[in-house]
Amino acid sequence: MKIPYGKACLECPSEEILGKPAMRWRGRRSAWQEMEPDQVLEELGETRSCACGPRQPPNWEPLSSFFPRAPRHPVLVVPDATRRGFWQDILPSLVVDLLMRWPATELKILVATGIHAEVSRDDIERHLRFGDHAAPADHDGRQAAASGRIKIVQHHSDEGNLPVGTTPRGTPVSIDRHYLESDARILLGGTSYHYFAGFGGGPKLVFPGLASRPGILMNHLRALGRGMSGWDPACAPAQIAGNPVAEDIAEAATLAPPHAVISTLGFGDQIGVVTMAGREDWVLSINRCRALYHRGHRVVLSAPLQGVIVDAGGYPRDRHLLQVHKSLQHAVRFLRPDGWILLIGECGEGFGSAGLLDMVKSLSLRSLSDVTAQEADAGHLQTAVALMTATGKRRVAFYSEISGKHPEQIRSLGWQPLATGRELEAWLRERSKGSWGWLSEADTVLPQ
């Protein structure tokens, strides 16, 4: 079995050892098995939606209704390099349309990084598929880069943000000035799950995507319950109602709403549905996309599995542990309480946070309620708690570069590090031959 691993694939002898899997999930290739794009359009009930593919670019004309006059400072907000999707396939076409639609303006592309680290210009252009990173047949991608009228800006959570208010829960909200000073705020992004905020995309592009660090950290810590009492079970993928993190995000985004939102649902092979909404109905449109995404990304599970082999889908989703662990949060939902997990991710960039495992070690020696405000403000406290609590008593093995470089730190998580193909094979042979499944891009699927 070939498993995505970094920018290549890993040969895993799982079927030879364990037999045929009871279920397989391969990210976008598995979604929407029972629905076609036209069916999705019908269910969306949107007049500003369209199906598109390699020979059928999106119809961007509905954007005219949102901007009757040409803006002076348009800003297009896009997800950061950890979030890929169908939106990347249509971005060059959208950029070219906006440049032609507004010939006298410069288009600013604002990357919603939240508190993630800045990446290189080359990585950003690869992420946006511009210039040398455009597909050979993608005239739009080359034309966009050559126009000289695009400015790419990465959000910084520690500078350049202006206060816009406070949520009813008391979260201070400051937003990127490039966005606030724009007279045409356009959000572009996909629909996805998020392991503690319910769903990604939509309002998350504004907050935390374009927010300042203090507000982001306060929002994320809401996953740990009142008084840091422990993980709030309402903070889960696909859960919005009653989820304090998700509800706080929605409230924050209304303090700096967009003028237009473009949401995508990808079907694989550059085929998908694009929905456009304005300031009055963007929340309704996003909720409809979320409902359809949830419908297409669940699988019927007759009984919990004994084991799962899990990967994040290769680079950039497995660039470090902070990203890979999101797939783990979904995988446990398919398992028996005494099941096993083989987690696979290259993690060429390490743990993704210098203090993550220090926090794990610290929490193993004391109560969560004893964590100081200064420690909590350092970030990723909720990630450390998620890593420590997600798997329960299940056996976890982790095949990764960091398992070879830092085996003791991996063991501190209660996981068994696997650094070679021989170790991986030996670990699989020790597993029982009960039912098992393969989840590729596991953070895109939930059991039904």
In the predicted model, what is the mean pLDDT of residues 140-162?
82
CA–CA distance, 169 with 195 (Å, rounded to integer):
21
Predicted confidence (pLDDT) at residue 29 exceeds the cutoff of 70: no
Res. 134 pLDDT band, cuts 50 70 90: low
Per-residue pLDDT at 101: 92
Domains in the chain with CATH codes: 2-30+298-447 (3.90.226.30), 37-296 (3.40.50.11440)
Predicted confidence (pLDDT) at residue 196 exceeds the cutoff of 90: yes
% of residues, the chain, pLDDT over 70? 92
The answer to whether residues 332 and 394 touch, using CB atoms and an 8 Å cutoff, is yes
Per-residue pLDDT at 17: 93
Predicted confidence (pLDDT) at residue 148 exceeds the cutoff of 70: yes
Q: What is the pLDDT of residues 375-394, one digit of tens each?
A: 776 667 888 888 888 888 89
Per-residue pLDDT at 359: 83
Cα dihedral 113, 247, 238, 188, rounded to 10, equals -40
Helical (H) or strand (E) element with 39: helix 37-44
Radius of gyration of the chain (CA): 22
Per-residue pLDDT at 107: 94
The answer to whether residues 276 and 49 touch, using CB atoms and an 8 Å cutoff, is yes
Q: Whole-number mean pLDDT of the chain? A: 89
Range with the lowest mean pLDDT among 29-33, 122-126, 282-286, 438-442? 29-33
In the predicted model, what is the mean pLDDT of residues 293-300?
90
Range with the lowest mean pLDDT among 83-87, 135-139, 144-148, 339-343? 135-139
Whether cis (ω within 30° of 0) applies to the bond prior to 304 is no
Res. 362 pLDDT band, cuts 50 70 90: confident
Per-residue pLDDT at 310: 97
Using H for helix, E for strand and C for coil, what is the string for 333-391?
A: HHEEEEEEEEEECCCCCCCCCCCHHHHHHHHCCCCHHHCCHHHHHCCCHHHHHHHHHCC
Angle at 222 between CA 225 and CA 232, to 5 degrees: 40
Per-residue pLDDT at 72: 94
Per-residue pLDDT at 285: 93
In the predicted model, what is the mean pLDDT of residues 7-20?
93
Q: What is the DSSP string of 182-211?
A: -SEEEEEEE-EEETTTEEESGGGGTTTTTB
Predicted confidence (pLDDT) at residue 166 exceeds the cutoff of 70: yes
Per-residue pLDDT at 235: 96
Q: 122: burial class by Cβ within 10 Å (0-12, 13-18, 19+)?
A: exposed
In the predicted model, what is the mean pLDDT of residues 241-252?
98
Predicted confidence (pLDDT) at residue 218 exceeds the cutoff of 70: yes
Res. 135 pLDDT band, cuts 50 70 90: low
Name the residue with higher pLDDT: 131 or 156: 156
Beta-carbon count within 10 A of 261 CB: 29
In the predicted model, what is the mean pLDDT of residues 4-25?
93
Whether cis (ω within 30° of 0) applies to the bond prior to 21 is no
CA torsion through residues 220, 245, 199, 447, sign:
positive
> Which has the closest alpha carbon to 436: 10, 3, 24?
24
- Read off the amino acid at residue 153: V
Q: What is the pLDDT of residues 323-340, one digit of tens each?
A: 999 999 999 999 999 999
Per-residue pLDDT at 262: 96
Q: What is the pLDDT of residues 56-114, one digit of tens each?
A: 888 899 998 999 999 999 999 999 877 888 898 889 899 989 999 999 889 999 999 99
Q: What is the DSSP string of 228-266?
A: S-S--TTSSTT--TT-HHHHHHHHHHTTS--SEEEEEEE
The answer to whether residues 14 and 308 touch, using CB atoms and an 8 Å cutoff, is no
